[in-house]
Structure 1
Amino acid sequence: MIDTQGNGLVFLLCIPRSGSSLSTVMLQNHSRIFATQEMWFLMNLVDLSKADSRVYGGSSIIRQFYQAMVSEDVFEKACRSFALEIYNGFLEGSGADFIVDKSPRYYYMLEWLDRLFPQSRRIHLQRNPLSTAASFKKVNRHTGESFDLLQSLNSPKLDMKAVDLTLGLTRLNDYFAEPHSFAYELKYEHLVMRPREELEKLCAFLDISYEQGMEQYGQFVDSTKADMFYSMGVGDPFLSSHQEAHQNSVNNWKEILDRQEVEMYCRVLGANLFHRMGYSEQLREAEQWTGVRVEDNPDQEVLHRLEQQLSVASGCRWQPNYQMKAWKNNGQHPSPMQNGSEQDEPAKRDPALEAMVTIRQLQAALRAADQRLERGYTERERLKKQLASAHSKLQRIKSWIPFGRQISAWASQRRMVRGGKS
């Protein structure tokens, strides 16, 4: 079970489109890990006191309540207790010791994570920024949504995709700038090229043994965990079409992005970030392709504008260049299990409890699938109404055409009577 310090809790931290779905679908195949699709609920907790507008009103009263009556310490303890109930509810009866919270955009509240669960393990998932931007464009093209990288970076209004690709990326690299005993860096490119080797190292970081075949997620599609994972309908829409990791998306950014997009995005990030992330070779390739040398420092004007937009919209205030805090306990860092001698002992499982857990997971999968079907039905009905309206307008326009011809003929006769004068 996860304790108040976060032992047993693993955060997979990255920006969207970095390969977090692929990492999670592999990790969930380990018998001692519970990992499912994106949760995001900690961001909802950290913003709880901001009290968005509700139909029942009282937003100003709620904000005043939190500001005047609830101290920061009490609020933090209450949020920690709520989160523990959620996390441990997932672990109960599952036989797992760890839960992986894979939620892109947790960069939004890194200071909060350090305060809430200081001993949690944190995996920093890295990917070539150009490939990440290309993945945004590819997925949005697949789903029918529009995404223009240049327009996104230049937008006068808040665009979270632009924040992901710039501020989110920079913030995570600042956070993991120094080595930390509770931090681990995982590169997407390495994971798809040698998945077993990377998973073995990742399991060693978590103080558990690698389990045979966990990287071949196609073999686990009939499991309850997989049902719950895919029923959520978020993450990589192409993941279910593959049985195991492939390298098709490693260096396809030139096939998706154009030269102008690559030039501007590299300029906004600056060369130093590519070097710090370990993608100097990819930057050189981009410079050769565009014919433009990228300056070392980022475009501060663009970054400042995006930061201001986010601050106005969310009210969040980040500590500049915030880094992961060191956990102090006389220099000793316990393992997530607290007691290493118990790690290799198989947990005794209650068959009835296991059955109840499986039922709960299947019920959650069914609820998520029902909601997706309901949204699909609602969208289909909306499109049918739009289509009917368009047909109705078309028929009205067609009905005007004969009358229009009569007017034209009548006008011609009038011009002939008046000697061609209207």
Structure 2
Amino acid sequence: MVGARGDNLVFLLCTPRSGSSLATAMLQNHGKLYAAQEMWLLLSLLELRSGRKRPYGGGAIVERFYNGTLPEGTFEDACRAFALEAYNGLLRGEEAELVLDKSPRYYGLLEFLDVLFPQSRRIWLVRNPFAVLASYKKLGAQRGGSSDLEALLTGRSFDPKAADLTVGLLRYMRYFAAEDPLAYRLRYERLVADPRGELDGVCRFLGLGYEAGMERYGAAMDTPKAARFFSMGVGDPLLADHSAPHEDSVHAWKELLTKREIAAYGRILGGRALDGLGYGEEREAAEKLAGCRFAADPDESLLALRTEQWAEATGWRWTEAYRMTSELPDGAKAARLPEEGQAAGATGTAAAAEAEQLRLVVRALEQRLESGHRERERLRAELGAMKRKAARLKAAIPFGDRLARLASSYISGAGGRK
């Protein structure tokens, strides 16, 4: 059973196309672990707070309610309660004791994840970025979509895949920068080369024993548990083409990617990030194929653009250089002492309650003021556009009158010559 702070909950974190479907297919073979192909549960909960347009209207009202009217912490408590009910609901009637939530774009809500479930265990699945890029290209070609990766990487318009490949990857890198007893780094290349050994390490991290044959996910596809897993129809569509891990795609990027694509991606990430991820040899090979050296630093202007685009698209803003925070299951938080001069007992409680109510009123008024400011700016822009249109029409009227007089004169003259 998943505990209130995330004990017995596991997050498999990575960017899309990193091999998470393969890892999950093998891990779900363990009798004590429940895993769905993808959930995106926390993403849908956090989205409640955004002021995005809704089909039934009231986007601004919803935003003010969740971000202003609700007392601080209530939204997180409610989301935690809902998620716990969902996670534990998956365990009902199961022999499993742990839930694995594999949702690649959780890089967008790492702060939210840590607040909700600080005792959860987090596995970071890392794959050579150039191989990830090649996987996008291969899948896009099979689906008949665009395979212009250079345009995707460097274009000014927003595409979630561009965020995955850049700011998403670097967010995970910073998040897992420090050692943490509740974090585990799993490298894709090692997983496919030695699946049994790597799965044994993951199981020990989760407090489980390795179960023989769990890496051969294809051999168990006729079991009810595996049948349900594969029936979800999400994740890597090519996963079912094999029955066990293989190394076919480890070096395929060298053939699939063009020089321009390799050069563009290397310049965006920068050599230091590639080395920090543990892919120094791959960086050297990429530089040789591209015929150029990558600067040590990433393309900060493009990363800033992608970060701002993400915030505009989702309404979520990130903490810069955010790192993982956790809480061991048996750890106890220190008692919070009253502020200096704050009365104790009933008087202090009443004062605190009144202060909280006043704070909520102030926050609600600030949001209404901000909303009013945005509305005024919108109306000013609309009024300006109308004035400019009116001016253009007014300027065109004299010309129209002259044109009409000339046409009339010409017609009259032509009629006279007849």
| TM-score when normalising by structure 2 | 0.77
Segment of structure 1 superposing worse, 68-77 or 50-59: 50-59
In 2 relative to 1, CA 217–330 (structure 1 residues): closer, same or farther, beyond 3 Å? closer
Partner of 1:72: 72
Q: Unaligned stretches of 5+ in structure 1? A: 334-422
**Mapping for residues 266-285 of structure 1, pairs under 5 Å:** 266-285=266-285
* C-alpha displacement of 1:310: 1.4
Which amino acid is 1:58 matched to? G
Partner of 2:164: 164
Q: Percent identity over the alignment?
A: 48
CA contact under 8 A between 2:154 and 2:264: conserved in structure 1?
Answer: no
Partner of 2:203: 203
**Mapping for residues 227-376 of structure 1, pairs under 5 Å:** 227-327=227-327
Q: Counterparts of 1:212 and 1:145 in 2: how far apart (Å)? A: 40
* C-alpha displacement of 1:331: 6.6
Partner of 1:109: 109
* C-alpha displacement of 1:332: 8.5
Q: Counterparts of 1:230 and 1:144 in 2: how far apart (Å)? A: 24
Which amino acid is 1:177 matched to? A
* C-alpha displacement of 1:201: 0.6
CA contact under 8 A between 1:2 and 1:87: conserved in structure 2?
Answer: yes
Q: Counterparts of 2:328 and 2:229 in 1: how far apart (Å)? A: 36
Q: Counterparts of 1:176 and 1:57 in 2: how far apart (Å)? A: 39
In 2 relative to 1, CA 81–181 (structure 1 residues): closer, same or farther, beyond 3 Å? same
Structure 1 segments, 4+ long, off by >6 Å, are 328-333
| TM-score when normalising by structure 1 | 0.77
Partner of 1:59: 59
Q: Counterparts of 2:302 and 2:56 in 1: how far apart (Å)? A: 39
* C-alpha displacement of 1:203: 0.3
Question: Which is higher, the Rg of structure 1 or of structure 2?
Answer: 2
Q: Counterparts of 2:273 and 2:83 in 1: how far apart (Å)? A: 33
CA contact under 8 A between 2:122 and 2:184: conserved in structure 1?
Answer: yes
Which amino acid is 1:38 matched to? E
Q: Counterparts of 2:20 and 2:72 in 1: how far apart (Å)? A: 32
Q: Unaligned stretches of 5+ in structure 2? A: 334-418
Partner of 2:85: 85
Which amino acid is 1:31 matched to? G
Partner of 1:128: 128
Partner of 1:349: none
In 2 relative to 1, CA 182–221 (structure 1 residues): closer, same or farther, beyond 3 Å? same
CA contact under 8 A between 2:119 and 2:328: conserved in structure 1?
Answer: no
CA contact under 8 A between 2:7 and 2:329: conserved in structure 1?
Answer: no
Q: Counterparts of 2:302 and 2:75 in 1: how far apart (Å)? A: 35
Q: Counterparts of 1:332 and 1:199 in 2: how far apart (Å)? A: 31
* C-alpha displacement of 1:312: 1.7
In 2 relative to 1, CA 332–177 (structure 1 residues): closer, same or farther, beyond 3 Å? farther
- 2:219 maps to 1:219: yes
> Tell me, what secondary structure is at the counterpart of 1:72?
coil
Q: Counterparts of 2:239 and 2:328 in 1: how far apart (Å)? A: 40
Q: List per-residue Cα deviations over 1:197-249 (Å, max 9, x = no partner).
A: 00001100011100010000011111222222222221111110101001000
**Mapping for residues 141-160 of structure 1, pairs under 5 Å:** 141-160=141-160
Task: Give the paired residue count.
Answer: 333
Q: Counterparts of 1:301 and 1:7 in 2: how far apart (Å)? A: 39
CA contact under 8 A between 1:33 and 1:99: conserved in structure 2?
Answer: yes
CA contact under 8 A between 1:10 and 1:99: conserved in structure 2?
Answer: yes
In 2 relative to 1, CA 329–192 (structure 1 residues): closer, same or farther, beyond 3 Å? closer
> Tell me, what secondary structure is at the counterpart of 1:109?
helix
Q: Counterparts of 2:291 and 2:57 in 1: how far apart (Å)? A: 56
Partner of 1:96: 96
Which amino acid is 1:252 matched to? A
**Mapping for residues 11-26 of structure 1, pairs under 5 Å:** 11-26=11-26
Partner of 1:39: 39
In 2 relative to 1, CA 328–125 (structure 1 residues): closer, same or farther, beyond 3 Å? closer
Q: Counterparts of 1:203 and 1:129 in 2: how far apart (Å)? A: 26
Q: List per-residue Cα deviations over 1:256-295 (Å, max 9, x = no partner).
A: 1101100110110001111111100000111112221111
Segment of structure 1 superposing worse, 154-163 or 278-287: 154-163
* C-alpha displacement of 1:71: 2.1
- 2:4 maps to 1:4: yes
Q: List per-residue Cα deviations over 1:329-370 (Å, max 9, x = no partner).
A: 88789xxxxxxxxxxxxxxxxxxxxxxxxxxxxxxxxxxxxx
* C-alpha displacement of 1:138: 0.5
CA contact under 8 A between 1:153 and 1:302: conserved in structure 2?
Answer: no
Partner of 1:177: 177
Segment of structure 1 superposing worse, 243-252 or 68-77: 68-77
Which amino acid is 1:122 matched to? R
Q: Counterparts of 2:236 and 2:72 in 1: how far apart (Å)? A: 37
CA contact under 8 A between 1:36 and 1:225: conserved in structure 2?
Answer: no
* C-alpha displacement of 1:132: 0.2
Q: Counterparts of 2:102 and 2:330 in 1: how far apart (Å)? A: 31
> Tell me, what secondary structure is at the counterpart of 2:10?
strand
